Amino acid sequence: MANRRIARHSSAGGIALTSRNALLSYSVRRETTLTSNKLVRLAFIMLTGSTVPAHGQQGQWAAADNETVKTIVDAERQWAETACTHNKITERILADDFQGTSPDGKRYTKSEEVADTAALSKIARDCRLLDTKVRLFGENLAIAYGSESSVRKANDGTGKPRCLIWTDTWLKRNGKWQIIAAQDTQFECK
């Protein structure tokens, strides 16, 4: 709000809102006190001609037979299996502006994940999606919560189990569901 200034005009009994090139004034009776929150709402309504709901979009857990959920869970399963199958699913399901956070706390992009999952030198076995639950927020946003496991080849040649729990944020753009953010955490396999 550095570019905005709220000024009170006591002599006119009104309130003026100045923002870069626009000057709005709203006359009120002297005995009416407007809070800054009401002023912001009033300015928004006057500038846009509309109102917004007072609360955010409420999420709901989706049923497993929901078509969107089926699409998301199938894509999540394929991504969990990609270390075993090198199926190139990440090219399709990750948005171009995707940002992920790996279990070791490093950020990665779509291009980095596509290259990593395509590397045939990274071989795993027993890649499995363990569980996935999807929470829908309206028609265009979904959060998938899940876990997966695999057995990866360690430096000494032995198989090392790897288990991840993750949260993926899905966004529907131009009729296509894609992951825009992912957060993975490694945990001890049971």
Q: Kindly report the pTM of this predicted structure.
A: 0.69
Q: How many domains, the chain? A: 2
102: tokens are 């790996």
Which structural domain range is residue 14 located in? 4-48
SS3 25: strand
Alpha-carbon distance 155 to 111, whole Å? 26
Check residue 156 and give its pLDDT: 85
- Segment 30-45 shows an average pLDDT of 52
Same domain, 125 and 171: yes
Same domain, 118 and 69: yes
Q: For 123-152, what is each residue's pLDDT tens digit?
A: 899 999 999 999 999 999 999 999 999 999
Same domain, 16 and 106: no
Is residue 54 domain-resident?
no
